[in-house]
Amino acid sequence: MKRMSLLALAAAFAAAAAAAQEPIAIGISIAQSPPGSVVQGVQVKDGVEIVKDMINAKGGVLGRPIKLIYEDNQGVPEKGRAATEKLITRDKVVAVTGGHQSSVCLAEIEVAHRYEVPYVNTNCWSDDVRKKGYAEVFNPGNYNTRVSMAMAETIGAMKVKRVIAFAENTDYGIGQAKLLAEFVKTKAPGTDFKYETLDRAGKDFTPAVLALRANPPDMVVTMMLPPAAYIFMNQLYEQGVAPSAKTWFYDGAGIADYPDFWQNVKDAGKYMISFGLYHPQMPQPALGKEVAAEYTKRTKNEPNRLIFQAADSLLLIVEAIRQAKSTDPKAITKQLASMKFEGVRGAFQFSSAREPAYAYQQWVDIPYVNFQLTDVNQPVSKANLIQGPGQPLAVDKLQKPK
Amino acid sequence: MLALDLLVNGLVFGLFYALMAVGLAMIFGVLKVVNFAHGEFYMVGAYTYVLVATRLGVPPWLALPMAAVAGAALGALVERLLMRPLYAGYGSWSIMKDEYAVVVTFGLSLLLINVVDKVVGPYPFRGPPLIETSRFALGPVMMNGQKLIAAGISIALLTGLALFIKRSLWGRQIQAVAQNRLGASLAGIDATRTTALIFAISGLLAALAGALLAPLINPSPDVGAFPAIKSYVIVVLGGMGSIWGAMVAALLLGVLESFFAVYVSYDYRDAFGLLILILVLIFRPQGLAGEKGREV
Amino acid sequence: MTGGAGNLWSNRLRTDFRAALAVVALLAVVPLFVQAPYTLGILVVSIYFALLALGWNLIAGFTGQFSLAPAAFAMLGAYATALLDFPLKAPLALGIPAAIVATALLGFALGRIVLRLKGPYVALTTLSFAEIARVVVYNSNAFTRGDQGLNVPSLMQSRVGYYYLFVAVLGATLVLLYLLMRGRAGRFWLAIRDDEIGAESRGINVVRYKTIAFALSCAICGLAGSLYGTFSQLVSPELGLLSQTGLVIAMVVIGGMGTLTGPVLGALLVYLASEWLREFGGIQLIVFSLAVIVFARFFRAGLWGIVARR
C-alpha cells in the first residue's frame, strides 16, 4: 500500500513535468463507423487508451507524454489510405498502429512504406500484409497461416469426415479459407473440405443454410465477422443445422469474446467451438493482468485479445522510442526490428526471416487456444478450454448438443 | 426437401419485401416520383422499435405500433415540407419535377442516416423479438418464431391495405387522385390531403417492416439501403404504381432470390435483383401489371 | 446586349465560362503560397470531385438525364487502368486512355439502355447499373482482388506536379464543355432537357445526342477516376459507392446545376468544407445533406446561380 502511494506521488510529479513537454504523436487508424467493424475499433481504442494513460502516468517516454491521434478509416481501404496519409503528413505522427481489418491494412502499409514511417499491425490477419516484406511493417498479432494451420490440426484431431466452411468475401475471409483448404489436405487427409463465400453485407443467408440442411456436414466452419457472422449463426441455429447432434460448429474468426456476442446470438452460440488468442487460463505477465484489470474496471467487461494486441502495439512503439532514445521514425523502425520485447501477452522478438514470406517481422509463435462455449451468456473465462497453448487437443472434453 | 425449404423461405421474405415496397408503389402511383428516402422510413421504424423497447423498457408488442406511428409521422412531415411544391400550384416546377424529387429525397436519405448515426451511434442493435422461440418445426420446415409472426402480421397488413384502397372512402379517393389529379380535385377531392395520407401510409408500412425485421436483421444506420434497393426492383418489376403488381413481384423476387442464391451464387444474390430491374426496363417496361409506356 | 434569347444564353454561358476559368486560375496559383503536401492533396481530391461534378452536370444538368452512375464510372475508369497494369504491366500511357475509351463505350451502352426511359426510370436504371458494377468488381476476387483493391503506379513523384496535372485536366475539360455547349450540341442537349418530345418534333436526333452525352459524361468520370487511381495508388470498389454519387450530386446542386462554374465551385466548397468540418466530429454529411435539401427547395439555381443573377 505504501509502495502504491509513493508510486502515485512520483507519477503525479512525473506527469506534471511531462506535461510541460511537447507530446509525441502516435497515429491510430481504426474503424469508427460502418461498413467497418466498429466493435473492433472500439476495443482497439480501449486497449491503446489504457496503455497511454499508464505510460503518461509514469512520465511518458524520453520525458515527453504521448498523444494518440485517431482517424476513422471506416473499414474501407481507400479511407485507410487517406487516414494514414493525413496522420503522417499533417499530424506528423512518429508511428501508425491500430489496423484491424486486413484490406485496410494492406492499403495503409503502402503509405507507411512510402513515407518510411513504422506501422504496427494490430489485428490484420492476412498473410499478404507480411508477404509484402516492407521493413516498416511489424506484426505482433495473429496471421492467417497460424489460424488455418491450427484449425486444420483441430479438424484432424476431431476426425470429422465432411467439413463445409463459410468465409466472408473479403481478403481476410477468402485468404483464410484458401489456406485452411491447403492445410486440411496435409493435417486431416481423410477429411472432405469445401468452402463458400458469403457477402459480408448480406442480410439473409437462409438459402445457404437450407442447402446444408438437405445434407448436413459433420462440421460447419465460419470465417466471418459481425454483423454477418451473427446473422449467419442465428440462421444456422434456426434451421437446426449447427451446432447440432450431427454437426459441430467451429468459428475461426474469434468472435466469441466480442462484447456484443451473446446479446446478438443467444442460444445459437451454445456449443460453439472457437479458435482463440486469449483465455484467462493462459500464462500471462503481470503487466497483462494489470491491463486486464484496468479494462474490466473501465468497461465492466472481460478483456479479449484485441485489447491485449492493441496494448502491445502501443507498448512496442513506446519501448522502441525509449530504447532508440529517439522519435525519428527510421530509428524506431530499426529498433523494432531487432529489439527483445516483453508486453502484455508474453516475451517475443520479431522474426527477420524472409522465408516463409508470412514470417517476416511477425511474432511467429504467437500462442493460441481452442475452447468451447457450453452455456448461453457464458464468458470466455468460464468456457471449456479444450486446447491450451502448445498442448494437444483434448477431444474427449468436447460436448455435443443432445 | 431443399426446394420446399427454399420456396417457403422465399415466400416469407417476399412478404417482408412486399411490406417494404407497397408504400413506394403507392407514392409512385400518385406522384409519379420515386422517394429515394424510402429505405430510411424503414430504418427509422426499426430504430424506434429497438430504442423504445430497449431504452424505455416498453414491451415489444407496444413498441411495434409506436414504430408505425413514427413512420407515419415522418411520411406526413416529408410530404408537407418537401414534396408539396411538386403539385401544390408552383407552376415553374413542372419541368424539373423528377430531378427535384430525386435530389431532395436523396438529400433526406443522407440526412437521416447521418443524424441517426450521430445520435444513436453506428453499432448495429438487436431488436427484442416479439416472441422468444427462436426455432420450431412447422411441418417439414423449420421456422423462427419472429419470422412467423412477422409474416402473419405482413399478410394481415397487406390484406388490410388492399381492402382499404378498394372499399373505404379514403381508399377510393386515393385511387382517384392516382388516376387523374386534376380531375379528382375538380370532383371535390382534396388532392393535397390525400397525398399526405399516402405518404403517411407509406411511412407507416415501411416503418413496420423495419420494426418487424429488427430482431432478424440488426438495424444499423445504413440498414435502409437493403429494403430500398429491393423496393425499387419490386416496384419496377410489378409495374410502377400498381399495388397488386408490387405484392406479386415481391413474392416472386423473394422466391427467385432464394433459388438463385443456392443454385447460382451466394455472393451475387442481392445484385441479382438489380439485374432483374434492368432487364425488366429493357424488355417489359410496364412490369407485370403496370400501365403501358414509360413516359411519366 | 441586343438580340433574342439566343444571345442572352450565349452571354450567360460566356460569363459562366469566364468565371470557371477564373476559379481554375486561382487554383493554379495556390502552390505559390502553399506547398504542404497534405493541403495540395486535399485540393487534388476536390478537383477529382469537380471533374465528376462536371461530368454529371453534363448528363443531368444540361441534358436532363438523371443518372446515378457517375461514381461507378469513376471506379470503372480507375479499374480499367489498374487492370491493364496489374496482370499485363501496361504503361500508364496506355492505361489512362484505355480508361477513357472503356468508360465512353460503357457510357454509350448505358445511354442506349435508358434511351426510351424518362425521369425516375433513368435514375433507377443507372442506379442498378452502378450497383451491379460495384458488386461485380467487389466479388470478382480473381481479377480485381476484391475489397483489397489493386495497386496502381504513380505518374510522378512530385505532389506539386500532380496538382498541376489535375488543374490542367480541369481546365481542358471546361474548355471542351464550353465549346460544345456554345455550339449546336449544347443547344440540342438543352432542348432535350427542356422538352424532349418537342425537340424530336423539331428534327433533333435525340437518340444520337443523348447517347453522345452519356458517352462523354461517363468518359469524363472515367478519366477522373483513372487519374485519381494513379494519385492515390490504390483503386478499390469504394470509389463506386452510391454515397460517392450522392456527394457529387450534392456538390452540383449546391454549386448550381446546369452551369459550368456551379459544379466546380460546389465541388471545391463541399470537399474543403468537409475536411474542415471533420474537426468537429463528423457532422459534415449532416450539414451537406441539409444544404442539399435547402438548396433544392429554395435556391434551385445554386450558389453560382445566385451570384450570377446578382
Chains in contact with B, where contact means 3 or more Cβ–Cβ distances below 8 Å, are A, C
Report the distance separating Cα C254 and Cα C70, nearest Å. Answer: 17
3-state secondary structure of A206: helix
| A33 lies within 8 A of chain C by CB | yes
Q: How many angstroms separate the CA of residue B140 from the nearest CA in chain C?
A: 34
Whole-number Å distance between alpha carbons of A260 and A278: 17
Q: Which of B98, B110, B278 sits opposite C119 (nearest CB)?
A: B98
Cell output for C68: 446515378
CA C192 to chain centre: 20
Query: Locate cell 514470406: which residue?
Result: A357
Asked if A89's CB is within 8 angstroms of C37's CB, the reply is: yes
CB contact under 8 A, A78 and C236: yes
Residues A167/A223, Cβ–Cβ less than 8 Å: yes
Interface contact flag, B110 C289, Cβ < 8 Å: yes
pLDDT of residue B15: 92
Determine, for residues A174 and C141 on separate chains, whether the beta-carbon distance falls below 8 Å: yes
- Closest CB from C38, C147, C238 relative to A170: C147
Identify the pLDDT of residue B294. 39
- List phi, psi (to 5°) of A294: -65, -40
C238 contact residues in A (CB cutoff 8 A): 76-79
Contact B278 C128 (CB under 8 A): yes
Q: For domain B2-294, which CATH number applies: 1.10.3470, 2.120.10, 1.10.10, 1.10.287?
A: 1.10.3470
Nearest chain C residue (CA) to B121: C282
Contact B270 A260 (CB under 8 A): no
Tell me the one-letter amino acid at B102: V
Looking at residue B285, its pLDDT comes to 77
Question: Which of A32, A206, A227 has its CB closest to that of B218?
Answer: A227
Probe site for chain A from B4, B7, B9, B119 (most A CB atoms < 10 A): B9
Which amino acid appears at position C131 of this protein? Answer: E
Q: Residue C2: is its pLDDT beyond 60?
A: no
Q: Is A363 helix (H, G, I), strand (E, B) or coil?
A: coil
* Contact by Cβ (8 Å): B49, B69: no
* SS3 per residue for chain C: CCCCHHHHHHHHHHHHHHHHHHHHHHHHHHHHHCCCHHHHHHHHHHHHHHHHHHHHHHHHHHCCCCCCCHHHHHHHHHHHHHHHHCCCCCCHHHHHHHHHHHHHHHHHHHHHHCCCCCCHHHHHHHHHHHHHHHHHHHHCHHHHCHHHCEECCCCCCCHHHHHHHHHHHHHHHHHHHHHHHHCHHHHHHHHHHHCHHHHHHCCCCHHHHHHHHHHHHHHHHHHHHHHHHHHHCEECHHHHCHHHHHHHHHHHHHHCCCCCHHHHHHHHHHHHHHHHHHHHCCCHHHHHHHHHHHHHHHCCCHHHHHHHHC
Alpha-carbon span B225 to B234, nearest angstrom: 14
Instruction: Tell me if chain C has a CB within 8 Å of the CB of A107.
Output: yes
Test mutation, C128, C137, C249, C254, chain B, max B CBs within 10 A: C128
Q: Which chain B residues are closer than 8 Å to C131 by Cβ? A: 229, 271, 274
Taking a C-beta distance cutoff of 8 angstroms, is the pair A294, A50 a contact?
Answer: yes
Show which subunits contact A, needing at least 3 CB pairs below 8 angstroms: B, C
On chain C, the residues whose CB falls within 8 A of the CB of A128 are 148
CB contact under 8 A, C282 and A103: no
Comparing CB atoms, the residue among A76, A86, A110 nearest residue C238 is A76
Q: Which pLDDT tens digits describe chain B residue by residue (296 residues)?
A: 788 888 988 999 999 999 989 989 888 887 778 788 999 999 999 999 999 988 888 888 888 999 999 999 999 999 988 888 777 655 444 445 667 887 888 889 989 988 888 888 776 777 788 777 777 777 778 888 888 888 899 999 999 998 888 888 888 888 888 777 778 878 888 888 888 999 999 999 999 999 999 888 888 888 888 888 889 889 888 887 778 888 999 999 999 988 888 888 887 887 888 888 888 888 887 777 765 443 33
Considering only CB atoms, A207 lies closest to which of B1, B217, B262, namely B262
Give the rounded distance of the alpha carbon of B102 from its chain centre: 17
Interchain contact, B220 vs A227, CB within 8 Å: yes
Name the residue among A141, A224, A225, A151 with its Cα closest to residue A181: A151
- Using CA coordinates, name the residue in chain A closest to B221: A34
Distance from the Cα of A27 to chain B's closest Cα (Å) equals: 22
Q: Using the predicted structure, report yes or no on whether residue C54 has a pLDDT greater than 60.
A: yes
Q: Testing the interface with B: which of C112, C129, C293, C299 to mutate, by most B Cβ within 10 A?
A: C293
Percentage helix, strand, coil for chain A under 3-state DSSP, each rounded to 5: 45, 15, 40
Of B126, B217, B221, the CB nearest to A203: B217
Q: Which domains does chain A have, with CATH numbers?
A: 2-142+285-359 (3.40.50.2300), 145-276+368-397 (3.40.50.2300)
pLDDT reading at C278 higher than 80: no
Please give the average per-residue pLDDT across A311-332, as a whole number.
Answer: 93
Structure letter (DSSP) for residue B122: S
The percent of residues in chain A predicted with pLDDT above 90, rounded, is 47
Residue boundaries of the structural domains of chain C: 3-241
Average pLDDT, chain C: 87
Choose the weakest-confidence range: A142-151, A225-234, B31-40, B117-126.
Answer: B117-126
Is the CB of C36 less than 8 angstroms away from the CB of A33? no
Nearest by CB to A103, which of C41, C149, C232? C149
pLDDT digits (tens, 9 = 90+) for A85-124: 999 998 999 999 999 988 899 999 999 999 999 999 999 9
Cβ neighbours of A81 in C, within 8 Å: 232-234
Lowest mean pLDDT among A11-20, A321-330, B36-45: A11-20
Interface of B with A (CB under 8 A): 1-2, 5-6, 9, 13, 117, 122-124, 126, 134-135, 142-144, 216-218, 220-222, 226, 257-259, 261-262, 266-267, 269-270
Q: Which of C146, C151, C238 sits opposite A171 (nearest CB)?
A: C146
Q: What angle (nearest 5°) sits at the alpha carbon of residue A172, between those of residues A166 and A173?
A: 5
CA distances, B163 to each of B243, B244, B284 (Å): 12, 12, 28
Contact B217 A267 (CB under 8 A): no
Contact B110 C131 (CB under 8 A): no
Cβ atoms of A156 and A188 closer than 8 Å: yes
Query: At B242, phi and psi to the nearest 5?
Result: -100, 120
CB contact under 8 A, A231 and B218: yes
* CB contact residues (below 8 A), chain A span 338-367, against chain C: none
Longest dimension (CA), chain B: 60
Q: Is the pLDDT of residue A327 over 60?
A: yes
Task: Indicate the pLDDT class of residue A6, thresholds 50, 70 and 90.
Answer: low
Q: What is the ipTM of this complex?
A: 0.84
Q: What average pLDDT does this structure show over C127-146?
A: 87
Q: Is residue B160 within a helix (H) or strand (E), and if so which, with residue range?
A: helix B145-167
C-alpha cell at A360: 517476416
Residue C230 grid coordinates: 494513379
User: Can you give the C-alpha Rg of chain B in angstroms?
Assistant: 19
Give the pLDDT of residue C225: 95
Which tens digits make up the pLDDT trace of A27-69?
A: 999 998 767 788 889 899 999 999 999 999 998 899 999 999 9
**Closest-CA residue of chain A to C147:** A170
Q: Could you state, in order of their start, the residue ranges of all structural domains in chain B?
A: 2-294
B143 neighbourhood in chain A, CB within 8 Å: 238
Residue of A42, A206, A209 best to disrupt the B interface, most CBs of B under 10 A: A206
Q: Among A49-53, A380-384, C146-150, C287-291, name the most confident range.
A: A49-53
Nearest residue of B to residue C110 by CA position?
B278
pLDDT, tens digit, 9 for 90 and up, residues A238-251: 888 989 889 999 99
Q: Which residues of A touch B (CB under 8 A)?
A: 32-35, 38-39, 169, 196-199, 201-208, 210-211, 213-214, 226-227, 230-231, 234, 237-240, 260, 263-264, 266-268
Residues of chain B neighbouring A198 (CB-CB closer than 8 A): 266-267
The verdict on a CB contact (< 8 Å) between B126 and A263 is: yes
* A177 pLDDT more than 90: yes
Whether residues C125 and B232 touch (CB distance < 8 A) is answered with: no
Name the 3-class secondary structure at B12. Answer: helix
Pairing of β A137-138 and β A96-97: unpaired
How far from C111 is each of C52, C131, C176, CA to CA, in Å? 17, 16, 20
Query: Using CB atoms, which chains have 3+ pairs under 8 A with C?
Result: A, B
Asked if B274 and C194 come within 8 Å (Cβ–Cβ), the reply is no
Cα–Cα nearest to A179, from A138, A148, A219: A148
pLDDT in tens, C184-237: 899 899 888 888 888 888 888 888 999 999 999 999 999 999 999 999 888 888
Q: Which DSSP state fits B168?
A: S
